[in-house]
Structure 1
């Protein structure tokens, strides 16, 4: 197949795969279109079978890691971790919307960083809705915070986001060095989001409501210490594994196995639920999408991006990498964007790869289509009969994204000089 035809075919299949993933008619799996598209890319000769196998081998550990983290987050919910989080939010806020927003920012940032952005979108967002209703405050600012932080707060650890896992692999960094370099950008980006959001939703955040100062009645839900200890041990295991050269996926698998076995023994779940928690359809979608993106990159997109990518790793170059990544994420979604850009940025050093990561994680807060997490969040919000206005979402993104992105890139440059 000639190059022009190959890139056209791959591009059409990529658009179809992403379009299906965005719409998901009747809740059907994202893989239903992406997997046949990946097969067509190979069968019709857009890429060779060897290249497809190479891409699958590259993504294999990432997909295994993702599966384990999804299971870990699911069984943390089974243990009651998110119920306890909701009770903490209500007690901490005591009827004060501004204090509730601060608490949501803190909790969502930690949950996103430790248990991945999917936990914030799927498990924490309903808790925030219930807490706002219980306190008789407007849910909108706090729910929007969940959406933005599922992207922005996923910068800290390789486990926080699928894009992080891909960038982590391309960067060649250890787990601990990745976290050390991203700590300051993570804090700065979250702080920028908070300041802008407080101003944007000022009318929805009165100093107090009628419920201010009242205490929650009833017995507080127990804190699931077993789940907390397992998560803490898993995080410690990532650090140790990185130091001795063990794949972090094995540590994530161990943590997920502990909680899954406990749930099976206590009959809180069955084997089918464990498999469903790993989201096999989504894992197949990620693998297939990687192969389709490889077809687009190898047949023209890679060369085109290579001409516009900045050189070096200075502050202006890092800003260029991040801006291009944010733009591409909003055009074709952040997952294909990082698949395309991370290998091209790698020769410029880990700083360039991390700048790309800033772009593909913060940039999607501008549009619904920027990340699958935002699309999933929109479904959760609609399920609670909350109106989400695309104009309002975009206006908020236009305010938060440039500020958060520029500030976090500056923080990354500082981290690269210091760490």
Structure 2
């Protein structure tokens, strides 16, 4: 909890790894986890870390190419100053960006664009900015590459890339639909009236970036089909855009390294070791009595509920690391994923993405009301979680695990 608390608060602006790395060393030195088990955890997380680094670089290079600014221009043209249209456009854009480029791209790169677009067309930004944080979690269900938690679940599920996506497609759509219906009602006052139909600044469509992203998506499928880790496809996309950016002097090698967020990657590794120690020293046994076995609908719903609660207590990344060793089979593993991806919309501490979003919002001189955030979460999370589990159970019956 100390490691997670420091990650949330970041005292004196320290990176998360400043506390997590010594904590990982301490649990090894004290024997809470053996050196062999710690190395095993590092080996298990290494492919996930490699993918995360590549996708973060790819997202930043897409931003450098103007992809997100082009999205903002499209939103401004399509909405014509109408808040409800803008909300729909943000939902579509954020869902696709989250699914393809991961939730970090939605938080760090798309949220500022949504702020700017709402200001430009003269509408209240709150519902649209809230949509970014909710969809960064709930819209990350679709692909193994959409979220760090997905990568961990994908490795534990035994599923192929396309089967994973097929099983999660209906829950993904259901979760987004629940969010949209609730948002329309919850922010009805903010979505009333119209803004200004200003002519948006013309933006050249970044064709090369779009083609590279599409090629990377195809690479994910091909890599899974031949037994390669999806990190190789992400690395390929990052190398293509990186080479182009360096040749055109749009970035430097130091900029690419900075985009990989190496301190955060080290934090994830250290957190994995600390969580392993906690699981081995009591938490795993305690949860083993709570997490049911089986793959029927009531079991899947119970697993998803436990995962959602745990995500809000200890954050979704530690939660998925704790729960995955306790479940077996594609259905239960994907139920864990529903809980740890949808549950964090209930509290600030549910996911690191939400905490990062709060910093982005504050950087734009906006404050988030805790009561409002929680009320919105209470309306979206329980309904979305139950209906998404229903959709998952139905997909398992039709497609099979």
Residue of structure 2 aligned with 1:209, choices 176, 181, 194: 194
- For the aligned residue pairs, the C-alpha RMSD in angstroms reads 0.9
Q: 1:172 offset after TM fit, Å?
A: 1.1
For residues 185 and 265 of structure 1, the distance between their equivalents in structure 2, rounded to whole angstroms, comes to 42
Aligned counterpart, 1:94: 80
Q: 1:93 offset after TM fit, Å?
A: 0.7
Any residues of structure 2 matched to 1:358-397 within 5 Å, and which? 358-397=338-377
For residues 245 and 217 of structure 1, the distance between their equivalents in structure 2, rounded to whole angstroms, comes to 45
Relative to 1, partners in 2 of residues 1:210 and 1:105: Cα closer, same or farther, differing over 3 Å? closer
Any residues of structure 2 matched to 1:73-92 within 5 Å, and which? 73-92=59-78
CA offset digits 1:3-41 (Å, max 9, x no partner): xxxxxxxxxxxx111111101234321100001100000
CA offset digits 1:235-288 (Å, max 9, x no partner): 001111111111111111111111111111111111111111100000000000
For residues 191 and 295 of structure 2, the distance between their equivalents in structure 1, rounded to whole angstroms, comes to 41
Aligned counterpart, 1:11: none
- Between stretches 116-125 and 257-266, larger displacement belongs to 257-266
Residue of structure 1 aligned with 2:23, choices 37, 49, 54: 37
The two structures have a TM-score, normalised by structure 2, of: 0.98
Give the aligned length.
Answer: 399
The answer to whether 1:317 aligns with 2:303 is no
For residues 235 and 139 of structure 1, the distance between their equivalents in structure 2, rounded to whole angstroms, comes to 31
The two structures have a TM-score, normalised by structure 1, of: 0.94
For residues 44 and 275 of structure 2, the distance between their equivalents in structure 1, rounded to whole angstroms, comes to 13
Structure 1 SS opposite 2:124:
coil
For residues 226 and 135 of structure 1, the distance between their equivalents in structure 2, rounded to whole angstroms, comes to 28
For residues 230 and 76 of structure 2, the distance between their equivalents in structure 1, rounded to whole angstroms, comes to 35
Structure 1 SS opposite 2:145:
helix
For residues 230 and 173 of structure 2, the distance between their equivalents in structure 1, rounded to whole angstroms, comes to 24
CA offset digits 1:50-86 (Å, max 9, x no partner): 0001100000101001100000001000000000000
For residues 195 and 89 of structure 2, the distance between their equivalents in structure 1, rounded to whole angstroms, comes to 19
Aligned counterpart, 1:303: 285
Q: 1:130 offset after TM fit, Å?
A: 0.5
Aligned counterpart, 2:101: 115
For residues 249 and 322 of structure 1, the distance between their equivalents in structure 2, rounded to whole angstroms, comes to 27
Structure 1 SS opposite 2:263:
helix
For residues 63 and 335 of structure 1, the distance between their equivalents in structure 2, rounded to whole angstroms, comes to 13
Any residues of structure 2 matched to 1:327-346 within 5 Å, and which? 327-345=309-327
Q: 1:310 offset after TM fit, Å?
A: 1.2
Residue segments in structure 1 that go unaligned for 5+ positions in a row:
1-14
Aligned counterpart, 1:7: none
Aligned counterpart, 1:409: 389
